[in-house]
RNA sequence: GGGCCUGUAGCUCAAUUGGUUAGAGCAGAGCGCUCAUAACGCUUUGGUUGCGGGUUCAAGUCCUGCCGGGCCUACCA
């Protein structure tokens, strides 16, 4: 039995996430976690909300709420949606937790002791009307290059020229529109990532099995121009982890907080501490996942994320871990994803474009979404959601192939033998099992290999091929005609096919957990242990009772599809 | 501007990393079946691999030039 630590990129707190966010990290992480648990491995699957930063403060202000209250509410909303999507986190934490405050301050202290923190004085734009320093992006003005009047302080969207906020003509706050801006001197802490460049570079070089998407981004940052740059890890904000050096004050840094990208990955660790605290566990129980000197040396740590998160997970966070030099566990494998597009454009939280998690669950059962999203995961390139594709995939794969197979075998059995697994002579039953396993066995091996390699789309294809075998088998064995002349052999066929349906409940659970439960309940499958051989086609013995389940997947009609297409064509109110 | 990724059948994607005749699913066509959610099974039609050069015994795969799509570019997170 292996021990596997799994984290998903932590979703930002400022609103309800869309399906693109889900498919790029949490959903494939959940697929992997569920599979590994079912294979009998010990899994710790952690996620959290990412709660700090300027956008959280602005979203709270817009909602007319104190930021702590806003975040607490949004955390509950996101936790509810995570349950709705059946994300099987061992703990869903909060980056604003006391545990993360303490750990973040601890890491900063360790880094300072190692000489990896530098104090830098810099000039930043302060908005008197907003009462806050403005990040470059939150300053708008006229581009000195092209004259575009909505250029941002970091870059002009119109002519793509990189800008400095002081370049802008007639600068104003993007938050309030106020032009009452001034440039102030302020002091910040920088993490000297440049000092760790060679160590990071050597470490990345050992990761030849990582996706190109992941390593190429890391290499670019390491080698482009002057190489890896130092990074500011503090901000002038009210909401965040107060800057402290371990448990001590940090002179000169009063009133400042750590930058959200410094504390957010540390929350991966803090989530484990929160898990221990919430479940009455000892420190040793979380440390055995995170401290290589306390039992984590045999842990395999896998991270899931969208491609935009890669630099922070390949460089900044490892720099924090390495720099702290205190036996913390480094990531072993990073699985990164491209983006899911929506009907020819991007999903966009800020523009309300696409389908959001709450809306998705409102219109259809969770497994429709899980199946489509996972079987179309944007692994090799960006992928595209269209309603036509969604409708035909779901109707064909789930309703026609899997749902209909379950329906035909359970109903046929009920009409001829009643709602029990029929009794058949042992030799006939054995022959049916052998014949069927010769087709299932190789596909199962392929499925296992792909799941272990986190080949999400391929795994879905193979699972579908395993479902198809059910229909092929019934067609060839034709128990409805055999029954007329040889009831014993028909019984053997039906018993075998019912067992196959039982296996489907088990094998499909990582992808469609809700339906797997429904199917398992209908067939009275109590043992979800992973199958390994032909004898697993006899787990439901003669006389084992079941009920014919309701239709597992109702089809999506053209009318529904058109209505949703229309409803989700614009932007969210 | 720079870096990286990408372009394969009407659609969504494969192709063991340079190796036989480029494969699946959906959609289309034909046949079969009647247990089943008008479902299922079998057979089958679709490709000058974006375009032009080049390297090689051999190129979807490597090099090069165009054309198109995307991401990142360090103070959004």
Whole-number pLDDT of residue A572: 58
Of all nucleotides, the one whose C1′ comes closest to residue A260's CA is B77
- Is any atom of nucleic acid chain B found less than 7 Å from the CB of residue A261? yes
Query: Is A398 found in the same domain as A342?
Result: no
- Is any atom of nucleic acid chain B found less than 7 Å from the CB of residue A565? no
Query: Is A150 found in the same domain as A56?
Result: no
Residues 6+ positions from A449 with CB-CB distance below 8 Å:
none
Nucleic chain B: which protein residues 369-388 of A have CB below 7 A from it?
Answer: 376, 378-384, 386
Distance in angstroms (rounded) separating the CA atoms of residues A181 and A28: 45
- pLDDT above 60 for A195: yes
- Could you tell me the distance in Å between the CA of residue A455 and the C1' of nucleotide B47? 26
| Long-range interactions of A445-452: CB distance < 8 A, separation 24+ | A447/A507, A451/A31, A451/A32, A451/A35, A451/A510
* Total of domains in chain A: 3
- pLDDT above 70 for A338: yes
Query: Is A213 found in the same domain as A166?
Result: yes
- Is any atom of nucleic acid chain B found less than 7 Å from the CB of residue A123? no
Query: Is A396 found in the same domain as A530?
Result: yes
Among A209, A226, A249, the domain-final residue is A249
Chain B nucleotides reached by a protein CB under 7 Å = 1-7, 11-14, 24-27, 32-37, 39-42, 69-77
Instruction: List strand residue ranges (DSSP E) for A444-498, in order.
Output: none
DSSP state of A238: S
Whole-number pLDDT of residue A161: 72
Beta strand pairing status for A132-133 and A117-127? antiparallel
Query: Is A348 found in the same domain as A288?
Result: yes
The CATH number linked to A392 is 1.10.730.10
The CATH number linked to A349 is 3.40.50.620
Query: Is A489 found in the same domain as A406?
Result: yes
Query: Is A120 found in the same domain as A203?
Result: yes
In a domain, A273, yes or no: no
Distances (CA, A) of A326 to A114, A189, A194, A297, A313: 11, 21, 20, 13, 18
Query: Is A519 found in the same domain as A389?
Result: yes
- Is any atom of nucleic acid chain B found less than 7 Å from the CB of residue A339? yes
Whole-number pLDDT of residue A82: 96
- pLDDT above 70 for A344: no
- pLDDT above 70 for A207: yes
Once rounded to an integer, what is the mean pLDDT over residues A161-190? 87
- Is any atom of nucleic acid chain B found less than 7 Å from the CB of residue A225? yes
Domain span at residue A465 reads 385-538
Among A249, A267, A290, the domain-final residue is A249
Of all nucleotides, the one whose C1′ comes closest to residue A414's CA is B35
Query: Is A186 found in the same domain as A60?
Result: no
Query: Is A91 found in the same domain as A45?
Result: yes
In a domain, A294, yes or no: yes
Q: For residues A310 and A369, which has the higher predicted lDDT (pLDDT)?
A: A369
Whole-number pLDDT of residue A421: 98
In a domain, A496, yes or no: yes
- Could you tell me the distance in Å between the CA of residue A326 and the C1' of nucleotide B24? 50
- pLDDT above 60 for A431: yes
Among A318, A349, A383, the domain-final residue is A383
pLDDT grade for A365, boundaries at 50, 70 and 90: very high
- Could you tell me the distance in Å between the CA of residue A24 and the C1' of nucleotide B9? 29
In a domain, A264, yes or no: no
Of all nucleotides, the one whose C1′ comes closest to residue A379's CA is B13
Of all nucleotides, the one whose C1′ comes closest to residue A393's CA is B26
In a domain, A182, yes or no: yes
Once rounded to an integer, what is the mean pLDDT over residues A380-391? 85
| A214, A314 Cβ separation under 8 angstroms | yes
Distance in angstroms (rounded) separating the CA atoms of residues A506 and A40: 13
Nucleic chain B: which protein residues 480-499 of A have CB below 7 A from it?
Answer: 480-481
Whole-number pLDDT of residue A18: 87
Whole-number pLDDT of residue A226: 78
Query: Is A531 found in the same domain as A390?
Result: yes
* pLDDT, tens digit, 9 for 90 and up, residues A414-428: 999 999 999 999 999
**DSSP helix/strand/coil, A240:** coil
- Is any atom of nucleic acid chain B found less than 7 Å from the CB of residue A183? no
Whole-number pLDDT of residue A239: 92
* pLDDT, tens digit, 9 for 90 and up, residues A45-82: 999 999 999 989 989 999 999 999 999 999 999 999 99
Two tokens, residue A206: 């050992």
Query: Is A376 found in the same domain as A460?
Result: no
The per-residue DSSP string of A352-393 comes to TBS-BHHHHHHHS-HHHHHHHHHHT--SSS-EEE-HHHHHHH
The CATH number linked to A153 is 2.170.220.10
Mean of the per-residue pLDDT values of chain A: 92
The complex scores an ipTM of 0.92
Percent of chain A with pLDDT over 70: 98
- Is any atom of nucleic acid chain B found less than 7 Å from the CB of residue A400? yes
In a domain, A76, yes or no: yes
In a domain, A267, yes or no: no
- pLDDT above 60 for A328: yes
In a domain, A485, yes or no: yes
């Amino acid at each position: 039995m292996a021990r596997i630590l799994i984290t998903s990129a932590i979703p930002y707190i400022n609103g309800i996430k869309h399906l693109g966010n889900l498919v790029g990290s949490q959903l494939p992480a959940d697929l992997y976690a569920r599979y590994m648990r079912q294979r009998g491995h010990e899994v710790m699957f952690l996620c959290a909300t990412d709660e700090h930063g300027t956008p959280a403060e602005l979203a709270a202000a817009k909602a007319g709420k104190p930021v702590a209250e806003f975040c607490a509410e949004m955390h509950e909303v996101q936790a509810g949606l995570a349950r709705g999507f059946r994300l099987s986190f061992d703990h869903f934490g909060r980056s604003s937790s006391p545990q993360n405050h303490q750990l973040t301050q601890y890491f900063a202290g360790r880094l300072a002791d190692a000489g990896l923190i530098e104090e830098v004085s810099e000039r930043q734009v302060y908005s008197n009307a907003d009462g806050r320093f403005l990040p470059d992006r939150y300053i708008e003005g006229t581009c000195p290059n092209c004259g575009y009047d909505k250029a941002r302080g970091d870059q002009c969207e119109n002519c793509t020229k990189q800008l400095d906020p002081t370049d802008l003509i007639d600068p104003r706050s993007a938050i309030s529109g106020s032009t009452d801006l001034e440039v102030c001197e302020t002091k910040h802490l920088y993490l000297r990532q440049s000092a760790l460049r060679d160590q990071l570079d050597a470490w990345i070089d050992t990761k030849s099995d990582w996706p190109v998407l992941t390593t190429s981004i890391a290499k670019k940052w390491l080698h482009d121009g002057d190489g890896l740059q130092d990074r500011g890890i503090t901000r002038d904000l009210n909401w965040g982890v107060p800057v402290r050096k371990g448990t001590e004050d940090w002179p000169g840094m009063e009133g400042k907080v750590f930058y959200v990208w410094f504390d957010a990955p540390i929350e991966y660790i803090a989530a484990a501490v929160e898990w221990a605290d919430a479940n009455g566990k000892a420190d040793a129980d979380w440390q055995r996942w995170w401290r290589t000197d306390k039992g984590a040396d045999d842990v395999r740590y896998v991270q899931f994320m969208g491609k935009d998160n890669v630099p922070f997970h390949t460089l900044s966070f490892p720099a924090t871990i390495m720099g702290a030099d205190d036996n913390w566990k480094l990531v072993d494998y990073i699985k990164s994803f491209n983006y899911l597009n929506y009907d020819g454009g991007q999903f966009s939280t800020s523009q309300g474009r696409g389908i959001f998690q709450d809306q998705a669950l409102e219109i259809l059962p969770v497994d429709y979404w899980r199946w489509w999203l996972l079987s179309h995961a944007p692994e090799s390139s960006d992928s595209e959601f269209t309603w036509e594709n969604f409708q035909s995939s779901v109707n064909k794969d789930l309703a026609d192939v899997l749902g209909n197979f379950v329906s035909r075998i359970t109903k046929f059995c009920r009409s001829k033998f009643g709602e029990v697994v029929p009794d058949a002579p042992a030799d006939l039953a054995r022959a049916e099992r052998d014949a069927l396993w010769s087709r299932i066995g190789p596909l199962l091996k392929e499925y296992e290999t792909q799941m272990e390699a986190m080949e999400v789309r391929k795994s879905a294809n193979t699972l579908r091929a395993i479902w198809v075998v059910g229909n092929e088998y019934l067609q060839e064995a034709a128990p409805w005609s055999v029954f007329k002349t040889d009831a014993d052999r028909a019984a053997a066929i039906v018993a075998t096919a019912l067992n196959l349906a039982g296996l489907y409940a088990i094998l499909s659970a990582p992808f469609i957990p809700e339906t797997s439960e429904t199917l398992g309940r209908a067939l009275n499958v109590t043992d979800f242990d992973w199958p390994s051989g032909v004898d697993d086609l006899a787990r439901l013995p003669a006389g084992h009772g079941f009920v014919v389940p309701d239709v597992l997947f109702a089809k999506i009609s053209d009318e529904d599809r058109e209505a949703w297409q229309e409803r989700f064509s614009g932007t969210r109110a």
